């Protein structure tokens, strides 16, 4: 099984990747960060901080930047990228992410989303479309600060010593 994180490099995507890493500490799943890049869409790339003001669009440079960001936050994570058409609608991006979740046999998808939980569904939300699939659990990350991994670690049944009742004689 796999923890999948749609990763666009923004703060909430980073927080989602960190949360997946924290869950991985307890559950020992594979982590895959997946970036979807609309080809030659300079505006989309600038909105996400992939390009500087006058920097030309370069898929290889964008992929390298995102990959470095993933490695910095979660060195054990795998990184995948998908290139879609220049003006791919939100639905196309979401369907690519759902397809990848299926291919990776995702058990959980960690989605960074500012409006999840406040709005049941929005027309333009990739997160909503990815979250609608019932083949995996979805963890919505709305807070940019890291969660309390020590609390997860301390409450994990894998970290406690079993009582004598469980030991064979």
Residue 133's pLDDT is 55
pTM of the model: 0.75
Is the confidence at residue 126, as pLDDT, over 70?
Answer: no
How does pLDDT run across 93-104, given as a tens digit for each residue? Answer: 889 999 999 999
Structure tokens, 109: 């998808």
Does domain 2-158 match CATH 3.30.360.10?
no
Domain ranges of the chain: 2-158
Is the confidence at residue 163, as pLDDT, over 90?
Answer: no
Residue 131's pLDDT is 55
Number of H helices, E strands in the chain: 6, 5
- Do residues 152 and 22 lie in contact, with contact meaning Cβ atoms separated by under 8 Å? yes
């Amino acid at each position: 099984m796999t923890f999948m994180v749609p990763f666009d490099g923004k703060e909430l995507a980073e927080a989602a990747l960190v949360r997946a890493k924290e869950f991985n500490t307890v559950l020992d799943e594979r982590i895959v960060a997946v970036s979807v890049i609309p080809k030659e869409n300079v505006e989309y790339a600038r909105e996400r901080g992939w390009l500087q003001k006058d920097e030309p669009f370069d898929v290889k440079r964008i992929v390298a930047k995102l990959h470095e960001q993933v490695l910095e936050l979660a060195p054990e994570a795998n990184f995948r990228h998908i290139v879609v058409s220049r003006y791919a609608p939100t639905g196309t991006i979401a369907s690519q992410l759902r397809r990848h979740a299926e291919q990776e046999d995702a058990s959980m998808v960690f989605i960074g989303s500012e409006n999840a939980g406040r709005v049941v569904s929005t027309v333009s939300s990739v997160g909503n479309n990815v979250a609608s699939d019932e083949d995996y659990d979805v963890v919505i990350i709305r807070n940019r600060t890291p969660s309390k991994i020590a609390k997860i670690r301390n409450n994990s049944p894998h970290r406690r010593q079993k009582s004598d009742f469980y030991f064979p004689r």
